[in-house]
Structures are given as structure tokens and as C-alpha cells.
Amino acid sequence: MGNLLKVLTCTDLEQEPNFFLDFENAQPTDAEREVWEQVDVVLKDAKGILDELQSYKGAGQEIREAIQNPNDEALQEQAWAAVLPLVGKLKKFYEFSQRLEAALHSLLGALTSETYDDPTQHLEREQALARQFAEILHFTLRFDELKMTNPAIQNDFSYYRRTLSRMRINNVPAEGENEVNNELANRISLFYADATPMLKTLSDGTTKFVSENKNLPIENTTDCLSTMASVCKVMLETPEYRSRFSSEETVSFCLRVMVGVIILYDYVHPVGAFAKSSKIDMKGCIKVLKDQPPNSVEGLLNALRYTTKHLNDESTNKTIKSMLQ
């Protein structure tokens, strides 16, 4: 990933950031280390989760054959045997989302505390934590992109629940039942029912963080998010900076982080990211997205279209709405 260079203040928006975030090389200071180490334990597992999700094939064929031949016990057993290890994976992904939410809370606690005068100083001086925050957002949107294109996930889990219910009615002992009890199965079902489950986890977690920390001004959180969005936008729209990226991975990283913080901002800010008073240049951010090859950003545009809270408010600028149509 290329080094994220200094971002100069744009003349059209006073709130554009005037510092760089080194998303590639930032290392924790002594003051950051305790939180950084807590979050690092979680992030170390993130790539493995994405790899497992990317290679998730599902048990579609076995399930179809079992449903088409309900009296063939061998096919029923084959389908059940195929689904059980997959359910173990789906449970693992869900449990990772809970760990990720806890990591987000730790980072927000550090980045919005009153250690510094304002959130901009936090991001400037706690760059290793800002980098971890960006990595969580990057993971989240990548996870959801993969999940949205894999219908087998919900089909497998639905089949598991239906079969388990039938086995209970018939008093058949179900291997694996202890692994996912009914209460956990309900929570996992709700998680995967959302189009972008990991993003919803972070959005809900950010809202919860704000409500649980009433002593902190809400602006501490929203300004942290809007500043991060602005850093990414300026990097992406300025050829001078973009030309110095060492790989296209840096571009996709910045795009995902930008969209992620916009959505979090939209959930946490009372009037959202699309209002006139928003500190995020939404027209500029959408233009940056639309300037990319279409197939590389459709998932991110859909995240703005379908997972934000305030896009369809009457107060949203018509130009912004039409840009996202």
C-alpha cells in the first residue's frame, strides 16, 4: 500500500484536513500501545476470516438433492454432514463481528477522549489507532461485498435451522446442536439477514458508543469520522497524490474507508451525512467513487444507496440523490 501523503486544505471546504494519515507505516506510541495491542489481536484474525468467506462454496447441491428426495435417508445425511461444518464457519464469522465491535469501541474511546483539544489532533497524533480504525472499515466493507454475492450463506443456515427443527420434533439427536443453540441461531440469522451485516454491526456499535458516553460531545465522534472521510477523498481526487500510490490496493483501501466512515457518520450524526450542515463533502465523495472503474465500486455505491440512514430524507440535496440513482 502506498504511503498516504500530506493532504493540503482545499479552498472550497474549510473542514478539509490539513495533515496526512500514514495508513501504511504508523506505529503506536507509548500512549497508544495499550489500546493498539487490544485491537491488534482482533485485526490479526481479519485476513483469515476474509479468506474463509471468499472460499465459502456452500452446500447447495447436497441441499437440493435432499429436498428433491425427502425419503432418501442417505441424501438427508449427506446434506446434514455437508452443512454442519459450514454452520461452524458462519458462527465463527458472527462471533468475529462481536469482537470487531468491541475493538471499535476501544478505538472510538481513545480517538474521541479529551486527551487532545479536538478530533483532528487525535487523528494526527494517534496515527497508529487511526490506521487500525481504517483497517476495521476496510475489512468491514470487503466482508460485506463478499457476503452480498454469496446467497449460499443464508440458504445453508436456513436449511440447518429447518432440519434441526424437524429433528427436534421427531426426537432425533442432532450432532452439532450444542454448537449453535436456538438463541444463538436467532442472533446469527438476524446478522446474515442484513444485506451488509458487518457494516450494520459497526453502525449499531458506533450509535451505542455515543449513547453510552453522554459525557462526550457527539461532535467528538462525528468530527473524527468526517475528518477521516475527507482525508481519503482528497487523496483519491488529487492526481499528484494518487500518482504516488505504489499499488491499486491503496486506492481500494481509501475508497472503502471513505464509504465506511460516511455511513457511520450518517448513523451517528443527528441530521446525517447528506444534510447541508454535514462536514462531509458528499458530492465530492460520490464523484470520486464514480470516477473509478464501475465494476470496482458498485458495491460501495450500493452501500451508500441502501445502508445509509438519511439519504432519502426530504432535506437531502436533489443533486446528491440523482448522483446515486
Distance (Å, rounded) from C-alpha 306 to C-alpha 304?
Answer: 6
Confidence band (pLDDT; 50, 70, 90) for 180? Answer: confident
Rounded CA separation 23/8 (Å): 17
Q: Give residue-wise pLDDT tens across range 44-94.
A: 999 999 999 999 999 999 999 999 999 999 999 999 999 999 999 999 999
d(C-alpha 125, C-alpha 28), whole Å: 10
Question: Distance (Å, rounded) from C-alpha 90 to C-alpha 85?
Answer: 9
**Could you tell me what percent of the chain has a pLDDT over 70?**
92
Q: How confident is the model at residue 4 (pLDDT cuts 50, 70, 90)?
A: very low
Q: Determine the pLDDT at residue 1.
A: 41
Whether the per-residue pLDDT at 238 is higher than 90: the answer is no
Amino acid residing at 31: A
As a whole number of angstroms, the distance between CA 63 and CA 317 comes to 47
Mean of all residue pLDDT scores within the chain: 87
Rounded mean pLDDT, 34-49: 96
**What is the DSSP annotation of 286-316?**
HHHHHTS-HHHHHHHHHHHHHH-SSTTSTTS
Alpha carbon separation from 56 to 49, 77, 90, 191 (Å, rounded):
11, 21, 10, 17
Residue spans of alpha helices (H) in the chain: 33-43, 46-54, 60-68, 73-111, 119-125, 127-148, 152-169, 182-193, 197-212, 218-237, 239-242, 248-268, 282-290, 294-307, 318-323
In this structure, the number of other CB atoms found within 10 A of the CB of residue 84 comes to 18
Which residues have a Cβ under 8 Å from the Cβ of 27 and sit 6 or more positions away?
Answer: 128
Which tens digit of pLDDT belongs to each residue from 81-108?
999 999 999 999 999 999 999 999 999 9
- The reported pLDDT for the residue numbered 12 is 40
> pTM, whole model, 2 decimals?
0.86
Can you tell me the distance from the alpha carbon of 204 to that of 199, in angstroms, rounded to the nearest whole number?
8
For residue range 181-235, list pLDDT tens digits in order.
888 999 999 999 998 899 899 989 998 998 999 888 888 889 889 989 988 888 8
Cell representation of residue 209: 458508543
Q: 252-265 pLDDT, tens per residue?
A: 888 989 999 999 99
| pLDDT exceeds cutoff 80 at 7 | no
